[in-house]
Amino acid sequence: MANIREIAKLANVSVSTVSRVLNKHPYVAEEKRLAVMQAIEKLDYIQNINAVHLSRGKTKTVGVMLPYVNHPYFSSLLEGIGEEALKHEYGLHLFQTAYDPDKEIEALAKMKMRMVDGMIILSRKSSWSKMEEYCLSMPAVICEKLDHPSVSAVFIDHYKAFRQGLDHLLSKGYRRIGYCIARRTGTNSNLRYQAFSEGLAEQNIAVTEDWIFDRCLGIEDGERVARQLYGMAERPDALLVSSDQVAAGIIAEWSKLGLRIPGDLAVLSFDNHPISRALQITTMDLPVNEMGKTAFRLFLERLTSGQVKQMEAEAALIERKTV
Amino acid sequence: MANIREIAKLANVSVSTVSRVLNKHPYVAEEKRLAVMQAIEKLDYIQNINAVHLSRGKTKTVGVMLPYVNHPYFSSLLEGIGEEALKHEYGLHLFQTAYDPDKEIEALAKMKMRMVDGMIILSRKSSWSKMEEYCLSMPAVICEKLDHPSVSAVFIDHYKAFRQGLDHLLSKGYRRIGYCIARRTGTNSNLRYQAFSEGLAEQNIAVTEDWIFDRCLGIEDGERVARQLYGMAERPDALLVSSDQVAAGIIAEWSKLGLRIPGDLAVLSFDNHPISRALQITTMDLPVNEMGKTAFRLFLERLTSGQVKQMEAEAALIERKTV
DNA sequence: TTGTATGCGTTATCAG
DNA sequence: CTGATAACGCATACAA
């Protein structure tokens, strides 16, 4: 494997000159540039990027920490980040954690070894206190409402969004309301519970804990919920569902059971992914791809100008046929 | 930023000793090991992974080239690769290309700079002749039926799978058959066309080019196809659809138009993603997550023992209600 | 079991 | 415009 020194020798110039043509510096004689190019060609020279990283002290790479990639919410976010990163000639290093706190910390530790120039955290399970030291060691962007003076964030206000969904159900006359969510814990989950209970309280309605379903991630979880619901003596008349996928599962299974939507059960979900339009699901639009792009831009801004920003992305109700 | 030398000085040992404890070598006195650990603690030392990469000549990272991540087929594949990579303590560097040949070549070039120890190619647009030199420069795995003596592969035999789907439609009496596919070109697309035309030829049925729809990737494309179909004077009575997502879009739109499945149109798709079960779509199961895991294992095997393997993954018909 | 010296392949500074 | 040389931070062969 030829290196810069051999190129220099063959081209009869110094290594600095070779480095200069490699990096397209100005001020190098056309004649020498050509000689270098020829030597590169002749020796099949390929730059060793690891040496560049070491020498420069940066990698032009951003690390992305996320639980799963096989989920429309995360893959849309990731797609947005990827598009923007590519545009700015940044690489993408993936850290998939499956919400395992140990893996999360391992990922953060790897990144701290200068493997990346900064990080974007899509979702997490670990407590912020355990993560903080890592997030402060480099530019960090997080996709949740985290109010920290040196961590940028782009987020949906899930209190507001959930409340908006709930209020829509209430305005349509539904009173026996439950919801489906991915996890019990986590910033966003807490916010949603709060929105839910406060919204009901204002109407003097008590929360029915049995109508709160967790571990709802994909279509199959929706199917499970529908069957659970079916077996209940006291059923809700409406459900907020934190993901279109889950809503699709509920609706599919529900109609197999011979029940009607929204007659027997109204469903309002979140994401506005294509599946919700296909199935005519009333949903809250979440601009996820755009959030991904914003996340990358925030990272870049933080890296180059040091600026920290918190940006809220707006959710919007899309009325269709399930409420 | 403390480095190994400062640690050595503070701990009163040599840099080699520090390196040894860092790498958990045997044969280092417990006493010195402790001294080193303390120094590390005291100076907040973090290893610089880029220096390690340069020195070792490898990165414990695999590069994954793919067009999109926001698509169940690719994200499942990616998820499988990620799980297996994590298990073997390998990192994952993503190269998203959007099927742009220039970006594909750029990605391959980056990888060749020793950014990764090997690559896994999920799908591509570039011709093999343009990619070959890169794929031979390091262990490479490709997810298609590519018969090359030094490139490992894991693939569905799309000729066989498509043919199996087609034969099922034929056996059920359908004769006016069309299909939906992502792209016109590419190894897999060609294989499918071949399976399609040969399968029909055996029954003395001519191919109707108007019933072949390309650029079908997501639900929205399925909706588009359904509307196109609706406006046709001569309609097919059955459709092979290369992705469950697209099938879901077709079925959703089709029923909005007041037509029946399979009465007015039979649909047989591919993937067996959760959406197909929810909508009771007859589909060919493709073990995509498992293929991802296999892809990583093949990469590792190639890296450590030099072995090249071609592995076929089997598709299987899942009969439900749309045929 | 430990230390010395050298290599890994670039970039960057500074003098010319 | 060009070249010599010192970083960058770590791993490792070899000697002790």
pLDDT digits (tens, 9 = 90+) for B153-167: 999 999 999 999 999
Q: Give chain B positions within 8 Å (CB) of A103.
A: 86
B173 in a structural domain? yes
Q: Assess whether A162 and A277 both reside in one domain.
A: yes
A319 in a structural domain? no
- Greatest CA span in chain A, whole angstroms? 87
Whether the pLDDT of residue A299 is over 90: the answer is yes
B292 in a structural domain? yes
- Domain's final residue, options B25, B54, B83: B54
B319 in a structural domain? no
> What pLDDT is attached to residue B187?
85
Q: Assess whether A146 and A292 both reside in one domain.
A: yes
- CB neighbourhood size of B212 (10 A): 17
pTM of the model: 0.94
Phi then psi for residue A107, to 5 deg, are -60, -45
CB B81 within 8 A of CB B295: yes
Total structural domains in chain B?
3
A72 in a structural domain? yes
CA of A17 to C1' of C12 (A): 12
Q: Tell me the residue range of the domain where A183 lies.
A: 156-283
pLDDT-above-70 percentage for chain A = 100
- Under the banding of pLDDT at 50, 70 and 90, the label for residue A217 is very high
How near does any CA of chain B get to the CA of A198, in Å? 34
Whether the pLDDT of residue A1 is over 90: the answer is no
Q: Give chain A positions within 8 Å (CB) of B255.
A: none
pLDDT-above-90 percentage for chain A = 96
Q: What type of residue is B105?
A: I
Report the distance separating Cα A229 and Cα A254, nearest Å: 9
CB B169 within 8 A of CB B177: yes
Q: What type of residue is A49?
A: I
How near does any CA of chain A get to the CA of B152, in Å? 23
DSSP state letters, A146-197: --BTTBEEEEE-HHHHHHHHHHHHHHTT--SEEEE-S-SSSHHHHHHHHHHH
**Mean pLDDT calculated for residue range A123-135:** 96
Whether the pLDDT of residue A186 is over 90: the answer is no
Report the distance separating Cα B237 and Cα A208, nearest Å: 49
> What pLDDT is attached to residue B149?
97
| Domain CATH code at residue A268 | 3.40.50.2300
Residues in chain B where the model's pLDDT stays below 70:
none
CB B116 within 8 A of CB B93: yes
Q: Does nucleic acid strand D have an atom less than 7 angstroms from the CB of A26? A: yes
- Domain's final residue, options B54, B77, B92: B54
CB contact under 8 A, B94 and A96: no
A65 in a structural domain? yes
Q: Does nucleic acid strand C have an atom less than 7 angstroms from the CB of B3? A: no
**Mean pLDDT calculated for residue range A21-32:** 92
Rg of chain B's alpha carbons, rounded to an integer?
Answer: 26
> What pLDDT is attached to residue A278?
86
- Domain's final residue, options B16, B39, B54: B54
Q: Give chain B positions within 8 Å (CB) of A115.
A: 49-50, 91
Q: Assess whether B120 and B234 both reside in one domain.
A: no
Token representation of residue A41: 């060609």
Q: Does nucleic acid strand C have an atom less than 7 angstroms from the CB of B17? A: yes
Output the CA–CA distances (angstroms, integers) from residue A47 to A29, A39, A231, B114, in the order listed: 21, 13, 64, 8
Cα A223 vs. chain centroid, distance in angstroms? 25
Q: Assess whether B151 and B219 both reside in one domain.
A: no
Q: Assess whether A259 and A209 both reside in one domain.
A: yes
Omega within 30 of 0 (cis) for the link into A262: yes
Q: At what angle do helices B30-43 and B15-22 cross, to 10 degrees?
A: 90
Q: Which of A129-143, A176-190, A193-207 has the lowest mean pLDDT?
A: A176-190
**Judging by DSSP bridges, how do beta strands A177-180 and A91-96 pair with one another?**
unpaired
Report the distance separating Cα B133 and Cα A29, nearest Å: 31
The residue to which tokens 């339009």 are assigned = A277
CB contact under 8 A, B50 and A75: no
> What pLDDT is attached to residue B117?
98
B320 in a structural domain? no
Among candidate residues B311, B304, B318, the one with its CA nearest the CA of residue B290:
B311
Q: Assess whether A260 and A298 both reside in one domain.
A: no
Q: Assess whether A168 and A214 both reside in one domain.
A: yes
Q: Assess whether B168 and B149 both reside in one domain.
A: no
> What pLDDT is attached to residue B241?
97
Q: Assess whether A124 and A211 both reside in one domain.
A: no
| Domain CATH code at residue B30 | 1.10.260.40
Cα A147 vs. chain centroid, distance in angstroms? 18
Q: Assess whether A297 and A308 both reside in one domain.
A: yes
How near does any CA of chain B get to the CA of A94, in Å? 5
Q: Assess whether A138 and A175 both reside in one domain.
A: no
- CB neighbourhood size of B154 (10 A): 25
CB contact under 8 A, A114 and B50: yes
Q: Assess whether B263 and B293 both reside in one domain.
A: no
B231 in a structural domain? yes
Count of positions (residues) in chain B: 323
Report the distance separating Cα B244 and Cα B72, nearest Å: 9
